[in-house]
Amino acid sequence: MSTSKRRIDRPSTPVHSKRRKDTQSRLDSFFSSPSVSERPGKVKADSFQKSIAKDIEIIDVDLLDDDVVSAPEHQSSSSPKKNSSALRPVKLIQAGRKDAFANVQHTTPDYAPLAVDPSTYTTISMDIAQDTLSSRFRSAEHLLRKVFVQHPSYDHIVGALLEVGLDGLPQRVPLTVGIPVYPALGSPIRSFEEIYERLNDLPFSAELKYDGQRAQIHVLRQSDGPIDVRVFSRHLEDMTSKYPDVTGLMQVLLEIHPETQSLILDSEIVAIDRATGSLKSFQALSSRARKDVRLEKVEISVGVFVFDLLYLDGEILLDRSFRTRRSLMRNRFPSYIPENELLARFQHVDSCDSEESQIQLQNFWETAVSRHDTEGLMIKLLDHEVCDEDSKGKLQARKKPLSAIYDADKRTFSWMKLKKDYVSGIGDSLDLIPIGAWYGNGRKVKWWSPILLGIWDPDQGHPVAICKCMSGFTDAFYKTLSEQFSLDDASKCSRSRLWDCEFGGFKPDVYFKPDMVWEIRGADITLSPISIAACHLTSSSKGLSLRFPRFIRVRDDKTIMQASDASFLANLWKSQQGKSKEQDDELIDVDVDSTSDYSEMDDIDI
């Protein structure tokens, strides 16, 4: 077995190839970026965030398993000492240890390209004191991660690493138009109080949070004229062929702005009604065709609601403050509706800055809550926090100052999402009956998970399945539940359908005796292909279900006959239909009766 072959160039690692999508090759070929190797990549782009070690595994386990693991001539044939030095990095990697990555990285420059000496690993490890080593590992890992989230190409990174090592890496592999950046994310919060706690009076912007699809749009004017556009999803999938209407929009936009060479925008693509301009549901958007869509074939029009600018004409803007990036974006690229009706619209997200006034902010939130076509607000810190000299040394143990950079791949509190359905008293809360369950997996093997829930049908006098639920339960609750509904007690739980219920398309492993009521929260009511709940009350005779269902609490005070019923559900659904602006007043007739509990409509204080 040859030890000299660099397995980096092999098409894939057998062990890991199955689930890996061919993202890398597409990234590398786009805009004729300088591909380092011709390898048809098999690297899953987002695995870095799961564990750096697991990704480098692709590069280096390849190396190692050829050169070390499956090279018995290097080891004794029978019982190789499990911790023999040459195997150490492999072990670390297999154990998912992050420092394994750094270990490998540090040794990378020592690889002779065609002849790897496995002992290199430990030689280096042994020479350096453990703490020095681990701190070096940490900073190496940190640097690599930072480079990776702005330019997720292993080919480029490994190539640069072999040439210039860690130090020159950021300059060698910078953010590049055509290579997607891992998007910045927002942390969930549940009140304005929490905003002020976190931001402590620093100015922020509140943006409407639209219910669409995240899109990072790259635009590059090529030297010979044509304008290249790429659209990437939140997980960096290339969606360009799904959105010819967005591509077309960006091309005309650059025709209007002949001075512009290149840019990267962050945005939400939202389905819109072409006639009225009102927003359509997420479900409408997701019914669009996804592959090789032709502009004339587009059936659902969209608006591109832009909210950030990451790159402009050769300048990387990630480290600028949000205020700077935003004003650059707004001033340079005003909202625009193309004449060609087939093209997407270019719009800025609606927003209200905290500097305007408390009243305006309050109104903004209330508007967001009342219209049913938005999810809530995104709160974004506008400026980097500055630590003044006085407080520097002496004052309290300060937290790290907040920054308003574009923090690729991070869920920070400089971006917060305040969704209506997080806030108690707002959003859809249902009282549902557990009527069945499935056997759990993994850490939930000992318990029932998910649980099947039903509404109450007063006409038939039995529950009707509406959705499954697996979120919001504590381990302790699961335990209790497994005792309350045990197959040992056939009066409560059974493999066969002993109790009168309708299940629609749901086929649980076990059935529960309808016996209790739980409060379940969700974001939206959906028209469901498998639920038959309230199906006689919907236009399409499809049933209704719940988006993002999660358990809130047991309703000991309710019997199953007091659970939410079909008409309550149907009213919720109707009230959320077609409600863009003010036009929904006639429809709202949700009876706030005994079946629901709206008692705790706590206003949120601003």
Partner DNA sequence: ATTGCCTGCCC
Partner DNA sequence: ATTCTGC
Partner DNA sequence: GCAGAATGGGCAGGCAAT
Give 596's Cβ-side CA count (13 Å radius). Answer: 22
CB nearer to DNA: give 113 or 442. Answer: 442
Give CA–CA dist 97/250, Å, rounded: 43
CB nearer to DNA: give 165 or 472. Answer: 472
CA distances from residue 107 to 92, 110, 113, 153, 304 in whole angstroms, order as listed: 14, 5, 12, 20, 46
We find the least distance from the C-beta atom of residue 184 to DNA, in angstroms, to be: 11
Backbone angles phi, psi at 418, to 5 degrees: -110, 95
What DSSP letter does each residue of 352-368 carry, written as one string? EETTT-HHHHHHHHHHH
We find the least distance from the C-beta atom of residue 402 to DNA, in angstroms, to be: 11
CB nearer to DNA: give 316 or 527. Answer: 527
We find the least distance from the C-beta atom of residue 502 to DNA, in angstroms, to be: 15
CB nearer to DNA: give 116 or 493. Answer: 493
CA distances from residue 183 to 44, 188, 307, 380, 458 in whole angstroms, order as listed: 16, 16, 12, 14, 47
CB nearer to DNA: give 526 or 567. Answer: 526
We find the least distance from the C-beta atom of residue 308 to DNA, in angstroms, to be: 14
507 is catalytic: no
Query: Mapping DSSP to helix (H, G, I), strand (E, B) and coil, where does residue 340 land?
Result: coil
Print burial letters for 532-548: b (CB count within 10 Å at least 16), e (below 16). Answer: bbbbebbeeebbbbbbb
We find the least distance from the C-beta atom of residue 300 to DNA, in angstroms, to be: 9
Nearest-10 crossing angle of helices 130-150, 154-164: 130
We find the least distance from the C-beta atom of residue 555 to DNA, in angstroms, to be: 16
Tokens of 291: 């592959």
We find the least distance from the C-beta atom of residue 484 to DNA, in angstroms, to be: 17
CB nearer to DNA: give 116 or 140. Answer: 140
Give the interface with DNA as residue ranges (CB under 7 A).
Answer: 19, 21, 49-51, 96, 185, 187-188, 211-214, 233-235, 237, 239, 282-283, 286-291, 410-412, 419, 421-422, 438, 440-444, 449-450, 467-476, 521, 523, 526-531, 545-550
CA distances from residue 287 to 205, 280, 282, 330 in whole angstroms, order as listed: 32, 12, 9, 31
Secondary structure letter of residue 548 according to DSSP = S
Contact at 8 Å (CB) between 302 and 346?
A: no
Q: Please name the residue ranges forming H helices in 46-116.
A: 47-50, 52-56, 62-64, 88-94, 98-107
CB nearer to DNA: give 76 or 283. Answer: 283
Backbone angles phi, psi at 318, to 5 degrees: -55, -35
Catalytic residue among 209, 280, 542, 579, which? 209
CB nearer to DNA: give 143 or 561. Answer: 143
Which residues lie across from 377 on neighbouring strands?
A: 208, 418
We find the least distance from the C-beta atom of residue 550 to DNA, in angstroms, to be: 4
Which residues lie across from 347 on neighbouring strands?
A: 305
Query: Mapping DSSP to helix (H, G, I), strand (E, B) and coil, where does residue 578 land?
Result: coil
- Residue 553, judged by CB atoms within 10 A of its CB (0-12, 13-18, 19+), counts as exposed
Tokens of 43: 């690297």
Catalytic site residues?
A: 209
